[in-house]
Structures are given as structure tokens and as C-alpha cells.
């Protein structure tokens, strides 16, 4: 008896001169072979990692999740990692699933060995932000990093930075005025969001001469895109399945990330294009060059190396987006942690207040020359940065095997991260103590 498949499907495909069953069979064999090869590859990778980290004890791991399930609870990540740092001194591996891990370095002696080499930056971490900020200073390494660094250095000369102080003071005043209104309404203030808007407002004024009014007008699509991208980058780093590009781009967060990137890039391209158009005019160029100060974008567009080569349009956009992200996010984090420390230690807060009042006198705005006189306040800032660094760690991918002072080794191609916060709190009895004594000699002043 002839089956339906034989009478229906086979004649329908006969004109192609192929056997549909053979195609299905080959496709199934090919698919199973690919799956098997991937399983073998993952197994080999798992064994490589186990061997690589065999001499570094760590907190017990789950066979599938690694340490991910331990680090999902927001607010507990840093505390857990710090506890593990004390339990496993010098270094210990952190596992993200069964097939991804890196060595978490917590001791200065280990960090010294790592950074004395020339290993490239860890692509696993930084690649998640490349679609937004491009390949600027943050992710570059080698000769191109050196070229960009050299071209951008004039943008951080004191003569360029001095005129920025009143601009930052204006942005800060807007934030404080908002706080006074909220306090009058007896409302609590979520500091980080307000401080982030203030730092974003400041860098847009100083670096790009752009009046965003972002602290009072949150409807600006570019401002919202930058905020969304900052959140989405941090969120992706925390959620292990999102480390896979295919999973992330198919997720709602991946769609939101692409949309925000398009908005941010469109705005950046528009600002750069308009500035370049204005500089084409000879008189306008001379006017800009004779200005009391240039902004960051002016310096990017005018930068030339010894061969007369400047930055490409893609390079300019990458540096603009990089400094928009790094410039406002890390600064906001540092300021927020400083305010946290001042709230914890009111005696230091009072000393800072008295020092600043004495320096200002009848004035109500900070000036450039005032910064060098704020000895006590500077020590408080440094101690806050020691305990709560805005950039908690720096990662490297080993270009060759590394041997530490105690004889333990890590093979090439593996990843190592040095945690600043762990290194700064290693001294016994001083783990989380806010003390200014370590800065007294450099400040030239006893407290």
C-alpha cells in the first residue's frame, strides 16, 4: 500500500531531481554533528579551565551556574566578593557558568606582576559596550591606543580645564536648587540619579559646549538614551545568559539597547557634523583657535600627529561617546560614594564644610585656585575613592602564561581581573575604616 508521503511529497519534489528524504537525513546528521562538536568543544574548554585554576582555591561552585547564582542578588555582590577576597587571599577564580571563568586578583603583589606586562584588555567585558561607544581609549590597546592617547592629551591641560570650573559650578547649583525644593516637600532624594544628571550636564557643557538642560528637562531623547545605555550595559554584565550575543540581541533588553544606540549615535553624528561645518569657514576656525579655551570636541577635530594625520570620523565619534559614558558615569559614582562617606562620618563632613567656608569667604562659587587649598576635603575624597573606587576592577587577557611570586601560574589566553577595592582594603584591621592618616604626610598637614 502506497503511503501518503510517497504519493504526495515525492512527486511534488520530483522536478528538482532530488530525494527529499535524503535531504532531511543529511540535515539531521549535519545538525547532530554540529551539536556533538560543540559539546566536545565545551567539554574541552571546561577541562582547560579546571586545569588552569587548579592551584587557586575558590568559593564552592554550582556545576551549571558557577558563581552566578551567588551574585544575582543586587546589593550583595560587592559584599560577597569582598568576603571571598579575605578567605582566599591573593587571587581566586570566579565562574560564570561552567565554561567561563576569570582569576580575580585581590593582592597588590599579584596585580604588580599582571600590570608589569603588556597584555591586551579583556575583550569579554569590554566588547559589550563597543556597539555603543565604539573603539575609543577605553577599549583600544597597542599602537592605536598610544596614538589616540597622544592626540587627546592636550584636552586635559590645566589651561583647558580651568575655564570648566564655573560651568561645573553652575550645573551643581541647579542640582542643589532641586534638592532644596524636594527637602521643602519633605521628600527623600535618590542621590545617584540626581548626581548622574549633574555630571552629564557638566560634561556636555565642558566637552561639547552643549546646553542640554537635562537636569530640568528629562524629555530630551539623547539624555534618556545615554541613561538607558548606562543601565543596560551594567545590567548585561550582571546577567550571565546576556553575555551570549545571540541571546541578548533577541531579548527585549537587546532591542532596547539597539534603539538607544541609534538615538545616541544620531545625536553624536549631528553634533560632530555641525561643528565640522562651522570650522570649514576660515574666519570661524581662527575664532575658535583664538578662544580662551577649546572644548574637547574642538581638540578632537583639530588633533594632528607628527605626520599630519588626524582622527577619522569614526574615531571622533568613538571618543565622544566614550567620554560621554565614562565621563559622567564614573564621576557620578565617585561623588555619590563621597556623599555616603560624609553622611557616615559627620565629624569629617563638618571639617570639610568649615574648610570650604573659610576658603570661599563672601563668595558662593568655587574657583580654580581654590581647589589646591582644600587640603582636608581632598583627603576625604581620596579616602572615599580608596574604599569605593568608581571603577572596581581592570581586566586583561593573557598573551602568554604568567607566573606569580609564589610560583602559581596561569596559562595564556585566560582572563585576569585586578580589583582595586580589594587591594585597597587588604591591611589587617583597616578593611573598611575611613581614616585620613595615610594622606597626612603628602598633604603636609596634620589633622
* Phi, psi torsion values for 411, nearest 5 degrees: -75, 165
Specify whether the CB–CB gap between 139 and 306 falls below 8 A: no
Segment holding 353, helix H or strand E: helix 346-360
SS3 string, 92-120, reads EEEEECCCCEEEEECCHHHHHHHHCCCCC
d(CA 388, CA 264): 29
Count of beta carbons in the 10 Å neighbourhood of residue 24 = 10
Segment holding 7, helix H or strand E: helix 4-14
pLDDT in tens, the chain (447 residues): 455 444 454 555 554 555 777 888 888 999 999 999 999 999 999 999 999 999 999 999 988 888 888 877 766 777 888 889 888 989 999 998 888 899 999 888 999 999 998 888 887 778 889 999 999 888 888 888 888 898 888 888 888 888 899 999 999 999 999 999 888 888 788 899 899 999 999 998 988 888 888 888 777 788 889 889 988 988 888 787 888 899 999 999 999 999 999 999 999 998 888 888 877 765 666 666 565 467 888 888 888 878 888 888 889 999 999 988 888 889 999 999 999 999 999 999 999 999 999 999 999 888 999 999 999 999 999 999 988 888 888 889 999 999 999 999 999 999 999 877 666 655 555 557 888 887 876 665 444
- The number of residues making up the chain comes to 447
Cα atoms in the Cβ-side hemisphere of radius 13 Å centred on 244 = 10
DSSP 413-445: T-EEEEEHHHHHT-STT-TT----GGGHHHHT-
* Residue 171: alpha-carbon gap to chain centroid: 23
What are the beta bridge partners of residue 120? Answer: none
> Helix H segments across 361-409?
368-371, 375-387
Grid cell in block for residue 258:
539597539
d(CA 398, CA 401): 7
* Residue 86: alpha-carbon gap to chain centroid: 25
Cα atoms in the Cβ-side hemisphere of radius 13 Å centred on 77 = 15
d(CA 418, CA 90): 10
Count of beta carbons in the 10 Å neighbourhood of residue 189 = 13
Specify whether the CB–CB gap between 70 and 59 falls below 8 A: yes
d(CA 148, CA 145): 5
d(CA 154, CA 296): 9
Give me the pLDDT at residue 97, please: 85
Give me the pLDDT at residue 31, please: 92
Buried b / exposed e along 153-165 (16+ C-beta atoms within 10 A)? eebeeeebeeebb
3-state secondary structure of 286: helix
Grid cell in block for residue 66:
558557577
Segment holding 179, helix H or strand E: helix 164-184
Give me the pLDDT at residue 291, please: 58
Specify whether the CB–CB gap between 365 and 73 falls below 8 A: no
* Residue 36: alpha-carbon gap to chain centroid: 37
CA atoms 429, 434, 438, 441: torsion sign? negative
Q: What is the pTM of this model?
A: 0.83
* Phi, psi torsion values for 139, nearest 5 degrees: -110, -15
Cα dist from 211 to 162, 205, 307, 360, 424, whole Å: 19, 6, 35, 27, 38
Count of beta carbons in the 10 Å neighbourhood of residue 218 = 11
By the 10 Å C-beta count (0-12 exposed, 13-18 middle, 19+ buried), 47 is classed as exposed
Taking the domain 123-344, which CATH number applies? 1.10.630.10
Amino acid at each position: 500500500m502506497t503511503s501518503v508521503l510517497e504519493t504526495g511529497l515525492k512527486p511534488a519534489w520530483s522536478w528538482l531531481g532530488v530525494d527529499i528524504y535524503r535531504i532531511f537525513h543529511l540535515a539531521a546528521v549535519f545538525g547532530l554533528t554540529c551539536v556533538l562538536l560543540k559539546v566536545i568543544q565545551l567539554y574541552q574548554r571546561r577541562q582547560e579551565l579546571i586545569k588552569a585554576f587548579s592551584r587557586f582555591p575558590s568559593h564552592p561552585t554550582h556545576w551549571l551556574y558557577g558563581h552566578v547564582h551567588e551574585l544575582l542578588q543586587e546589593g550583595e555582590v560587592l559584599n560577597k566578593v569582598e568576603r571571598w577576597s579575605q578567605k582566599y587571599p591573593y587571587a581566586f577564580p570566579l565562574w560564570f557558568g561552567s565554561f567561563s571563568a576569570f582569576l580575580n586578583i585581590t593582592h597588590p603583589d599579584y596585580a604588580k606582576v599582571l600590570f608589569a606586562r603588556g597584555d591586551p584588555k579583556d575583550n569579554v567585558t569590554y566588547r559589550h559596550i563597543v556597539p555603543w561607544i565604539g573603539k575609543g581609549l577605553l577599549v583600544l590597546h597597542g599602537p592605536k591606543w598610544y596614538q589616540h592617547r597622544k592626540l587627546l592629551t592636550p584636552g586635559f591641560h590645566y589651561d583647558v580645564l580651568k575655564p570648566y570650573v564655573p560651568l561645573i559650578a553652575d550645573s551643581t547649583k541647579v542640582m542643589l536648587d532641586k534638592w532644596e525644593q524636594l527637602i521643602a516637600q519633605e521628600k527623600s532624594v535618590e542621590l545617584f540619579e540626581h548626581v548622574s544628571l549633574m555630571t552629564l550636564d557638566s560634561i556636555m557643557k565642558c566637552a561639547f559646549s552643549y546646553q542640554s538642560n537635562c537636569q530640568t528637562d528629562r524629555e530630551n531623547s539623547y539624555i534618556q538614551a545615554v541613561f538607558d545605555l548606562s543601565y543596560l550595559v551594567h545590567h548585561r554584565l550582571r546577567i550571565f545568559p546576556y553575555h551570549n550575543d545571540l541571546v541578548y540581541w533577541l531579548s527585549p533588553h537587546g532591542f532596547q539597547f539597539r534603539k538607544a544606540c541609534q538615538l545616541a549615535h544620531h545625536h553624536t553624528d549631528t553634533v560632530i557634523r555641525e561643528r565640522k561645518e562651522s570650522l570649514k569657514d576660515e574666519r570661524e576656525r581662527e575664532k575658535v583657535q583664538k578662544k580662551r579655551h577649546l572644548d574637547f570636541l574642538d581638540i578632537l577635530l583639530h588633533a594632528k600627529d607628527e605626520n599630519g594625520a588626524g582622527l577619522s570620523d569614526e574615531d571622533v565619534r568613538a571618543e565622544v561617546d566614550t567620554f560621554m559614558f565614562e565621563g559622567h558615569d564614573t564621576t557620578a559614582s565617585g561623588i555619590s560614594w563621597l556623599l555616603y562617606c560624609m553622611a557616615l562620618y559627620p565629624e569629617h563632613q563638618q571639617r570639610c564644610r568649615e574648610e570650604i567656608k573659610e576658603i570661599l569667604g563672601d563668595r558662593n562659587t568655587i574657583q580654580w585656585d581654590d581647589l589646591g587649598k582644600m587640603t582636608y576635603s581632598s583627603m576625604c575624597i581620596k579616602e572615599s575613592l580608596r574604599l569605593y573606587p568608581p571603577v572596581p576592577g581592570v581586566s586583561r587577557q593573557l598573551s602568554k602564561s604568567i607566573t606569580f611570586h609564589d610560583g602559581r601560574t596561569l596559562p595564556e589566553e585566560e582572563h585576569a581581573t585586578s580589583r582595586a577595592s580589594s587591594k585597597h582594603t587588604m591591611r589587617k584591621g583597616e578593611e573598611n575604616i575611613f581614616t585620613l592618616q595615610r594622606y597626612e604626610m603628602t598633604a603636609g598637614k596634620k589633622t
